[in-house]
Copies of this chain bind each other. A is one copy, B any other.
Amino acid sequence: MTTDFCNQPRRSPRDRIIEAARGLFRRNGIPGTGVDAIADAADSNKMTLYRHFKSKDELIVECLQRAGSEMDGFWQELDLAHPGDGLGQLRAWVRWVAAHLGDDNCHCEMMSAAVQLTDEDHPGRSLIRTFKDAQRERVVDLCHKADVADPELLADTLLLLIEGARVAQQSSGADGPSARFAEIANAAILFFVGQERRPG
């Protein structure tokens, strides 16, 4: 553990390696990224990489875990920005996803990994499942708080639209169906809110 205060002139090699790996995984794909390239991009070397991670697979898992942690932080920020307001959080979430669809870092590491880690037994797959299940629970919870007619159905609708927008961005480009994602997602929310279930 390095004495790491508030200054970040240079993070620990471990951090640099993870961040470099995440960047390369996003840019060149997981199988298309070699450990040498990761160590190089991290301004480190392969030996320190293998001193911190038993294997490339373990590094992949840690990258996915960090991506999951960042999403956890995002959900907390969302709750702080719209405390108790499920509908507001849903809308803010949709807005955020739409705004970041075109990013090089489009925060779809889980999705890409799910498609690229074709090995059913890869340790990263269970992590992806766990993360996706937690994400779904969160969205369902927000839909409940938004007091819509069928919270689970709206949650699944939004999740499908979001995953679809991200992959459509990859295959059809920014001008494809993903261009109208926000419009569609907001319409779906509006539709379900219109059928808001009333007490009694």
Residue ranges of A at the interface with B (Cβ–Cβ < 8 Å): 27-29, 31-32, 110-112, 114-116, 118-119, 128-129, 132-133, 136, 152-153, 155-157, 159-168, 170-173, 176-181, 183-184, 191
Contacts and interface: CB of A to CB of B under 8 A. Distances in A.
A160 B171 contact: no
Contacts of A191: 191
A132 B171 contact: yes
A30 to B, nearest CB: 9
Total identical chains: 2
The main secondary structure of chain A at its interface with chain B is helix
Given A160-B181, A178-B160, A180-B156, A115 B168 contact: no
Contact of A184 (B112, B129, B157, B178): B157
A136 B172 contact: yes
A192 to B, nearest CB: 10
B163 A32 contact: no
Contacts of A178: 160
A180 to B, nearest CB: 5
